Structure 1
């Protein structure tokens, strides 16, 4: 089983045990906001899979892992975990790099950024654990991701256009949008976007599942959808101090519907 190759603020690896059992039968799986794609990497493969994100560096990384695995790994042959190296790469403009160099830069920065932040990054340190950039495990992690991505389509579209493009009765859309009134991802995401998502959930042919933070305005905009509440604890940057929160998981179908025949569709 593959796992996310980069840390990502708001990643869903720890919530996968609550999200995956809710998935209904489907043949087409789509993530309009893939980010670190924790659910994609942890789920059983579907017949057709699409991962999408508006972050060009992220999409470039996945495409390079899919098509140029060995060349990407060679970029790290003599790389050490170093604050100075991290700063140098952060100051290097991505447009002067090749796609493979750009992917290596993004992976290294994201691995070592405090809290998996995408914007306003700072170099993360820990006195109780190894750095997240580990050359001894990186090769296998990239190889696992390469095989998992081999049959996936990787898009760099607006999230709503992705849903409209791939909507069909046998599709499942897992939406993990930026949380409302929390730290951003470097891309504006106004409340009208949640309103658009709620409307699409009620009108598309396929099924949609949405994971989002608990907020009165979020509850109001998605009030017509089925909801499951998950009590959850999260930590930032490897901290030992956990904070309590509630994760809301919405769906445009009854979560208690039978999943009969699902195994035959993967």
Structure 2
């Protein structure tokens, strides 16, 4: 299944490549969940943990899990509208005034209607084709009870990513890490620094389990990859908001990617 939202920096376009590199595991954890494209695309694991430090993100999934029907009703009533987009921004910027349900609705609107799927990125619309309205219609129609069922046995956290990693680490744990890219435009994830990224690399270098991390290349990543003999896979992708421009995504792991990809058959977990 696909993620119920469109999310800035999401991995929808890379999902098939990433899924093919996930090793066998007992516990699956995403410390930087965001839109959760990989989680929703993969098969269910024995134990699953999703986390994001952003309360707005995790509130959406908690409400989807516990108050799905009420949230679905609000979403079904939501058309592509600048007025509703403005209202959703006000809700998220003044959460104390609104219920958790209303905040979850506002998050859905902001991620699906904002330019570039970036919260507070401005109202998104199409000029030549009816593509934006169709996208939102599909997101609205496809918000089905399967999402509630998918989250039913999932641990939903909202805490520091490194604490989630260390608390769930074990030999049979697998962590898919998609941190904000400190060396790129981070949208609403502004504030994640090179030092934060290095702290993540330090934590991952000491775990018992396996990890796969998405990022852009950097000197600090080269340093840790060389020191710990991590594996890498580089993938050229189109920049979604810049026609004709390419980017190189780097997938880094502490296990043999080539060996696993050759032996992989279907989605593990």
TM-score for the superposition, normalised by structure 1: 0.90
Contact 2:43 2:267 in 1 (8 A): no
- Determine the C-alpha separation between the residues in 2 that align with 1:242 and 1:114: 18
Please give the residue correspondences for 1:14-33 in structure 2 after superposition, counting only pairs within 5 Å: 14-33=13-32
State how 1:69-148 maps to structure 2 within 5 Å: 69-92=68-91, 93-118=94-119, 120-127=120-127, 128=129, 129-131=131-133, 132-134=135-137, 138-148=140-150
Preserved contact between residue 75 and residue 140 of structure 2 (Cα < 8 Å): no
Q: Deviations over 1:94-138 (max 9, x none)?
A: 2211111110111112110100113x420001132142322x652
1:49 corresponds in structure 2 to 48
Residue in structure 2 matched with residue 192 of structure 1 by the alignment: 195
Q: How does 1:190-229 map to 2 (within 5 A)?
A: 190-223=193-226, 224=228, 225-229=230-234
Moved more, 146-155 or 59-68: 146-155
| 1:36 matched to 2:38 | no
Q: 1:173 aligns with which of 169, 172, 175?
A: 175
Tell whether the 8 Å contact from 1:3 to 1:145 is kept in structure 2 after alignment: no
With over 3 angstroms needed to count, the CA separation of the structure-2 counterparts of 1:168 and 1:263, relative to structure 1, is farther
C-alpha distance in structure 2 between counterparts of 1:89 and 1:180, whole Å: 27
Cα root mean square deviation, aligned = 2.2
Gaps of 5+ in 2: none
Q: CA deviation at 1:74?
A: 1.6
Distance 2:194 2:162 in 1: 14
Q: Using structure 2 for the length normalisation, give the TM-score.
A: 0.89
Q: Is this contact kept in 2: 1:33–1:159, CA < 8 A? A: yes
2:258 aligned partner: 256
Does structure 1 conserve the Cα–Cα contact (< 8 Å) formed by 2:4 and 2:142?
A: no
Q: Which moved more, 1:247-256 or 1:223-232?
A: 223-232
CA distance in 1, matches of 2:101, 2:164: 25
Counterpart of 1:153 (choices 155, 166, 174) is 155
Q: Distance in 2 between matches of 1:244 and 1:82?
A: 32
What is the rounded CA distance, in whole Å, between the counterparts of 2:265 and 2:205 in structure 1?
23
CA drift of 1:187 comes to: 4.9
Q: Deviations over 1:166-222 (max 9, x none)?
A: 001100000000112212234521212222222222211110110101334433343
| Greater CA drift, 108-117 or 83-92 | 83-92
More displaced 10-residue stretch of structure 1: 137-146 or 221-230? 137-146
Instruction: Provide the rounded CA distance (Å) in 2 between the counterparts of 1:231 and 1:257.
Output: 21
